[in-house]
Amino acid sequence: MVLRSLIVGLFTAALAVTPVAAAETVKIGFITSLSGPAGIIGKHMKDSVELALDHLGRKVGGLETEVIYGDDQRKPDVGKQLADEMLKKHRVHFVSGIIWSNVMLAVAPTVTQAGTFMIGTNAGPHQLAGKMCHELFFTTSWQNDQTPEAMGKYMSDQKLTDVYAMAPNYAAGKDMIAGFKRYFKGRILEEVYTKLGQQDYQAEISQIRARNPKAVFVFYPGDMGIQFVKQYVQAGLREQTPLYSVYTIDEVTLPALKDVALGIFETRYWSPDLKNEANQKYISDFRKKFGYTPSFYGAQSYDGIMLIDAAVRAVKGDLADKKGMIAAMRKADYRSTRGAYTYNVNHFPVQNFYLLKTVKGAGGAAEMQIQKAVFEKHKDSYYKECGMKW
Amino acid sequence: MLLVLEQALNGLQYGVTLFLMAAGLTLVFGIMNLVNLAHGSLYMVGAYLATTFYQWTGSFLAGVALALAATLGLGILLEIVALRTLYERDHLDQVLATFGLILFFNELVAILWGRAALYTSLPAWLGGHVPVLPGVRYPVYRAVVIVVGLAVAVLLWGLVARTRLGMLIRAGASNRTMVAALGVNIRLLYTLVFGLGAALAGLAGLMAGPIYAVQPGMGEQILIQVFVVIVIGGIGSIRGALVAAIIVGMVDTLGRAFLKPTLATFLSPSAADSAGPALASMLIYLLMAVVLLFRPQGLFPVRAR
């Protein structure tokens, strides 16, 4: 009898304690593409989130932490469903991740309208930087246009003209070409949009050869980049027409492309050879734990967790204090893998953009190295359309 | 004009790849009445095996031969272990079971080879370009794909229309019980047909390997187009599969290449920019809808059973 009441008492006590303990757990819903051809990008992101948690002793802002991963399969509708599930079922405090701009445009408003933080770690569609900006939306990546703006500037400086521009036909593809054209002063021969996820580019490559441009500018992230560059080089075009790109040659596609990518230029805000303490620790610990070199997708996902950590720490674990967390995030006061940066009024980073080139590294394998900075403290082109004031 | 010719070759090359897939799928469906969604997985396995065997042996042709033999074997094994029990079930059960096989194979491939795409390089003798006409050079490898695809089409036609095995296959498709009553081992026949279909999918996959990225899930991407081909061509018809595959290949490639400039002649450039690519990716489905509207049985329906 005594034993039984003891057990009942213990149960009651346990039930009473649980809700309090749950409130002290930071829940982060991390949505990315884990299956299909883009799954490799999701792997870079997920591994980086795990490394960030390791570096924080598995505690974000000193609180117990649970990360719930979701696989959007590169589909906006799946992404939105996942976000709904994370908000309603798991009651997450932060939604983070998202690779694709079309998925982001479906997910971000869902999350912010529910009063939850959306921490972008890749996609930066122009709508979210401008008219659709929101106090609960922050990104640790970039606004889509910024990177091709840097490439447009560099190619203009090189006095290149008669350029053939190509991108997949979706939100980010349009942004990338718009950004490129904003700073590129030469003539553009043709703008071509291909199907998202297309594998064979032979028809487009035949068109390029027929137009004979002076240079080609492309945006083909992930698996699309491997295919395009491989076929471009196979067609013998690399020697004839130099290739310039954004988000096409990176640590996700290089292991497959290897020497095929040699000599191709990219612009980017980050590179594994960026010399700062946080980045070098990230790179070396990542290689030690996972056995491969992480990409910018990983670096900005790592930063996303660190940003959340800084925010939760600033409000001393009071997750209800959203104003306090917004104020903390706006300072970007954490050790980012890109070095120190600031936030613009629309919560997009103001940061440097570098020119990178694929070269043979010390070990003989192809790797990307920073050549020079194209832009310093570069703001995106949409922040004036954002109504936020702070 | 030369560009149109080059694009037509691209379309033909895509078309014959689709045909190799469609031939196997339509054989299995038309003869065994089995909806095999996992056909794309055999395509994927063919590509992976050819890449791996090529790396092991160092010889491209040996890699191709070994991979073909292995997919044939895998097809036979799959038929005996998993699919044999499905013949008597309705199509929904077959779809569910073979969809399960897709998940199984994708995961298996990811475990064995990793999620990252494999990069197959070509041997030097397949890497260059051949002059097709003065002023038109075409990649050797893609030309080889066209030749092999068309040769297989002829061989397959010969097999089905001119040999005793082909006669049994056709008879088995019309009346299974009657053929069995005549003392033919219909079970073995089905196993062979399925193995042949698997080998064709494997052939398509291993030829696509150096062109496409070899990665988990690569089979599903092409499978949708293959279903379009079968529906247009008429289910169960090899001839229909060939004609429809080449039509689909041409329409898709030429649409991607020339739809936008054509639209730009009578639309504003920005309207053509946005409508062109969107319309080009819908073109084959529009084609399918039109064909279904006028010939619901497909272009070359198999005669009534």
Chain B residues with beta carbon closer than 8 angstroms to that of A258? 119
**How close A213 comes to chain B (CA, Å)?**
15
pLDDT of residue A132: 94
CB contact under 8 A, A193 and B273: yes
Q: Is A221 in a helix, a strand, or coil? A: coil
- Among candidates B105, B73, B108, B89, which has minimal Cα distance to B35? B89
pLDDT of residue A55: 96
Residue B13 is encoded by which pair of tokens?
Answer: 């090359």
Asked if A32 contacts A104 with a C-beta cutoff of 8 angstroms, the reply is: no
Residues of B at the A interface, defined by Cβ within 8 angstroms: 2-3, 6-7, 10-11, 13-14, 106, 110, 115-119, 122, 127, 129, 139, 142, 211-213, 215-218, 221, 253, 256-257, 260, 273, 276-278, 280-281
Look-up of token digits 């050549």: A371
**How close A188 comes to chain B (CA, Å)?**
14
* CB neighbourhood size of B127 (10 A): 14
pLDDT band at A21 (very low <50, low <70, confident <90, very high): very low
Chain B residues with beta carbon closer than 8 angstroms to that of A234? 122, 127, 139
pLDDT of residue A2: 55
CA dihedral A304, A307, A312, A316 (to 10 degrees): 160
Query: What average pLDDT is seen over chain A?
Result: 90
CB contact under 8 A, A193 and B281: no
What angle is formed at CA B240 by the lines to CA B50 and CA B178, rounded to 5 degrees? 95
DSSP A62: T
- Among candidates B22, B54, B31, B225, which has minimal Cα distance to A200? B225
CB contact under 8 A, B127 and A234: yes
**In this prediction, what percent of chain A has a pLDDT beyond 70?**
94
**How close B112 comes to chain A (CA, Å)?**
15
pLDDT band at B273 (very low <50, low <70, confident <90, very high): confident
Full 3-state SS string of chain B:
CHHHHHHHHHHHHHHHHHHHHHHHHHHHHHHHCCCCCCHHHHHHHHHHHHHHHHHHHCCHHHHHHHHHHHHHHHHHHHHHHHHHHHCCCCHHHHHHHHHHHHHHHHHHHHHHHCCCCECCCCCHHHHCEEEEECCEEEEHHHHHHHHHHHHHHHHHHHHHHHCHHHHHHHHHHHCHHHHHHCCCCHHHHHHHHHHHHHHHHHHHHHHHCCCCCECCCHHHHHHHHHHHHHHHHCCCCHHHHHHHHHHHHHHHHHHHHHHHHHHHCCCCHHHHHHHHHHHHHHHHHHHHHHHHHHCCCCCCCCCCC
**How close A130 comes to chain B (CA, Å)?**
22
Residue A38 has pLDDT above 90, yes or no: no
CB contact under 8 A, A200 and B211: yes
Of A194, A199, A257, the CB nearest to B119: A257
pLDDT of residue A8: 58
What is the tens place of the pLDDT at every residue in B83-92?
Answer: 888 888 888 9
Residues 6+ apart with CB under 8 A from B203: B20, B46, B68, B71, B148, B152
Chain A residues with beta carbon closer than 8 angstroms to that of B221? 37, 197, 199
Of B119, B213, B277, the CB nearest to A37: B213
CB contact under 8 A, B257 and A203: yes
CB contact under 8 A, A256 and B213: yes
Of B13, B110, B119, the CB nearest to A256: B119
Residue A354 has pLDDT above 50, yes or no: yes
Of A43, A227, A255, the CB nearest to B213: A227
**How close A299 comes to chain B (CA, Å)?**
19
**Beta strand pairing status for A137-139 and A117-120?**
parallel
What is the tens place of the pLDDT at every residue in A190-203?
Answer: 899 998 888 889 88
Residue A359 is encoded by which pair of tokens?
Answer: 């070269």
Nearest CA in chain A to B130: A235
Q: CA gyration radius for chain B? A: 20
Alpha carbon A221 to chain centroid, angstroms: 11
What is the tens place of the pLDDT at every residue in A149-174?
Answer: 999 999 999 999 999 999 999 888 99
CB contact under 8 A, B139 and A197: no
Asked if A183 contacts A156 with a C-beta cutoff of 8 angstroms, the reply is: yes
Q: Which of B130, B145, B211, B254 to mutate to test the interface with A (most CBs of A within 10 A)?
A: B211
CB contact under 8 A, B115 and A210: no
DSSP A194: E
Mean pLDDT, rounded, for A260-288: 94
pLDDT band at B155 (very low <50, low <70, confident <90, very high): very high
Asked if A141 contacts A301 with a C-beta cutoff of 8 angstroms, the reply is: no
**How close B221 comes to chain A (CA, Å)?**
9
For A14, half-sphere exposure in the C-beta direction (CA atoms, 13 angstrom radius) is 6
Provide the sign of the torsion angle of the four alpha carbons B261, B262, B267, B271, taken in this order: negative
What is the tens place of the pLDDT at every residue in B18-42?
Answer: 999 999 898 888 778 888 899 999 9
| Distance (Å, whole) CA B127 – CA B225 | 27
Query: What average pLDDT is seen over chain B?
Result: 87
Of A37, A192, A203, the CB nearest to B7: A203
Q: Is A371 in a helix, a strand, or coil? A: strand
pLDDT of residue A238: 86
What is the tens place of the pLDDT at every residue in A51-99?
Answer: 999 999 999 999 999 999 999 988 999 999 999 999 999 999 999 999 9
pLDDT of residue A117: 96
Residue A22 has pLDDT above 70, yes or no: no
What is the tens place of the pLDDT at every residue in B101-131?
Answer: 999 999 899 889 887 777 777 888 888 888 8
Residue A13 has pLDDT above 80, yes or no: no
| Distance (Å, whole) CA B66 – CA B45 | 12
The amino acid that residue B90 corresponds to is: D
pLDDT of residue A23: 53
pLDDT band at B136 (very low <50, low <70, confident <90, very high): confident
Asked if B252 contacts B232 with a C-beta cutoff of 8 angstroms, the reply is: no
Residue A215's DSSP bridge partners are A163
Residue A340 has pLDDT above 90, yes or no: yes
Chain B residues with beta carbon closer than 8 angstroms to that of A257? 119
Look-up of token digits 């997450």: A92
pLDDT of residue A10: 54
pLDDT of residue A20: 42
| Distance (Å, whole) CA A164 – CA A183 | 15
For A179, half-sphere exposure in the C-beta direction (CA atoms, 13 angstrom radius) is 32
CB contact under 8 A, B257 and A230: no
pLDDT of residue A199: 84
Chain B residues with beta carbon closer than 8 angstroms to that of A297? none
pLDDT of residue B77: 93
Asked if B172 contacts B188 with a C-beta cutoff of 8 angstroms, the reply is: no
| Distance (Å, whole) CA A44 – CA A302 | 10
pLDDT band at B305 (very low <50, low <70, confident <90, very high): very low
Q: Which of A46, A190, A202 to mutate to test the interface with B (most CBs of B within 10 A)?
A: A202
What is the tens place of the pLDDT at every residue in B49-104?
Answer: 999 999 999 899 999 999 999 999 999 999 999 888 888 888 899 999 999 999 99
| Distance (Å, whole) CA A155 – CA A151 | 6
Q: Is A178 exposed, middle or buried (0-12, 13-18, 19+ CB in 10 A)?
A: middle
What is the tens place of the pLDDT at every residue in A219-248?
Answer: 998 888 988 998 898 888 888 899 999 999
pLDDT of residue A249: 93
Residues 6+ apart with CB under 8 A from B79: B190, B191, B194, B195
Higher local confidence (pLDDT), A9 or B59: B59
| Distance (Å, whole) CA B239 – CA B80 | 28
**How close A48 comes to chain B (CA, Å)?**
17
| Distance (Å, whole) CA A257 – CA B253 | 25
pLDDT band at B2 (very low <50, low <70, confident <90, very high): confident
Task: Please list, residue by residue across B56-90, b when 16 or more beta carbons sit within 10 angstroms of its beta carbon and e when fewer do.
Answer: eeeebeebbebbbebbbebbbebbeeebbebeeee
pLDDT of residue A177: 94
